[in-house]
């Protein structure tokens, strides 16, 4: 009598019972979507959430990060998650860039945004306070969890020449 160890070929699963890669990916996506939808912590996330978004949402739940809402005029509000401690205006701007680009990708819009142009033409503001110093901490501007942010058009100063007399 042969043991299983002597003839491993007979115990191998048949190819008919295996899934294709696409079927397995679709099944996994479905299970993950059910888990995300059933969890109150993650149910606000989109079904194609990235690992960074899941980590950020976990950090918000632990109190290690805050969520800011960016009003984009005629577009929908955009939730921006940043660390709650020592976040600078520059780091906030980078988070806005990342989230905006991700939102455009999800909507299948292939448009490149010149962020240099955006930050040259607009300031960020929070309840009328302009966040104009990129090295300053956002806490110093009164920005906290669930704060509303807006783009504020920069005013052009004519003849901006400084006389050194």
Predicted structure pTM score: 0.75
Query: Which three-class secondary structure state does DSSP give residue 38?
Result: helix
- In terms of Cβ atoms closer than 10 Å to its own Cβ (0-12, 13-18, 19+), residue 107 is exposed
Per residue in 128-143, pLDDT (tens digit) is 999 999 999 999 999 9
| The 3-state secondary structure of 83-101, one letter per residue | ECCCCEHHHHHHHHHHHHH
| Domain residue spans of the chain | 18-49, 50-153
**CA dihedral in degrees (141, 80, 53, 45; nearest 10)?**
130
Mean pLDDT of the chain: 86
CATH topology of domain 50-153: Ubiquitin-like (UB roll) (3.10.20)
Average pLDDT over residues 95-101: 96
Q: Which residue has 């990129």 as its token pair?
A: 134
Average pLDDT over residues 48-58: 89
Contact assessment for residue 57 and residue 42, using Cβ atoms and an 8 Å cutoff: yes
Per residue in 16-46, pLDDT (tens digit) is 568 899 999 999 888 888 888 888 888 888 8
- In terms of Cβ atoms closer than 10 Å to its own Cβ (0-12, 13-18, 19+), residue 153 is exposed
Average pLDDT over residues 108-123: 94
């Amino acid at each position: 009598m042969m043991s299983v160890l002597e003839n491993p070929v007979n115990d191998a699963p048949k190819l008919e019972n295996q899934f294709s890669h696409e079927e397995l990916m679709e099944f996994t996506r479905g299970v993950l979507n059910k888990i995300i939808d059933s969890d109150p912590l993650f149910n606000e996330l989109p079904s194609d959430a990235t690992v960074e978004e899941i980590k950020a949402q976990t950090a918000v739940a632990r109190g290690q990060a805050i969520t800011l809402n960016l009003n984009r005029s005629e577009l929908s509000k955009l939730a921006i998650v940043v660390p709650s401690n020592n976040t600078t205006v520059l780091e906030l701007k980078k988070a806005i860039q990342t989230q905006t680009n991700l939102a455009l990708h999800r909507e299948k819009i292939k448009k490149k945004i010149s962020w240099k142009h955006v930050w040259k033409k607009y300031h960020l503001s929070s309840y009328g306070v302009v966040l104009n110093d990129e090295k300053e901490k956002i806490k110093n501007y009164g920005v906290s969890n669930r704060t509303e942010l807006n783009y504020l058009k920069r005013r052009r100063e004519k003849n901006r020449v400084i006389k050194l007399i």
